[in-house]
């Protein structure tokens, strides 16, 4: 279709309306191609972003569970009687 319009231009049958139509068709084709490329690029980028979010969420959950586990191990109650010095009873008798 574009070729037939360009042939009219070469033969001298071109008018302003035919050139405008050719430019419009070429513009629509170019814009459509760009939109198709951008749509696929946006879809691919969104898929990569979702995958990265899943990985980051997994890492955060692993780190928080590891931190909670280490905090629980460090906060174990100690025996109260184990640190009482044995000399306390001797001082009270004096």
CA distances from 76 to 72, 73, 79, 94 (A): 7, 6, 10, 37
- Mean pLDDT rounded to a whole number for the chain: 78
Q: What is the pTM of this model?
A: 0.46
Continuous H helices in the chain: 2-11, 16-74, 88-92
Give the pLDDT of residue 81.
Answer: 58
Is a pLDDT exceeding 70 seen at residue 52? yes
Span 22-36, mean pLDDT? 94
pLDDT at residue 34 in the model: 94
Q: Is the pLDDT reported for residue 35 higher than 90?
A: yes
């Amino acid at each position: 279709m574009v070729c037939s319009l360009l042939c009219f231009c070469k033969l001298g049958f071109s008018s302003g309306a035919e050139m405008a139509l050719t430019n419009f068709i070429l513009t629509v084709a170019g814009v459509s191609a760009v939109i198709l490329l951008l749509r696929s690029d946006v879809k691919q980028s969104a898929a990569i972003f979702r995958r990265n979010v899943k990985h980051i969420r997994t890492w955060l959950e692993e780190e928080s569970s590891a931190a909670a586990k280490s905090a629980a191990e460090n906060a174990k109650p100690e025996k109260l009687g184990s640190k009482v010095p044995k000399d306390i009873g001797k001082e009270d008798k004096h």
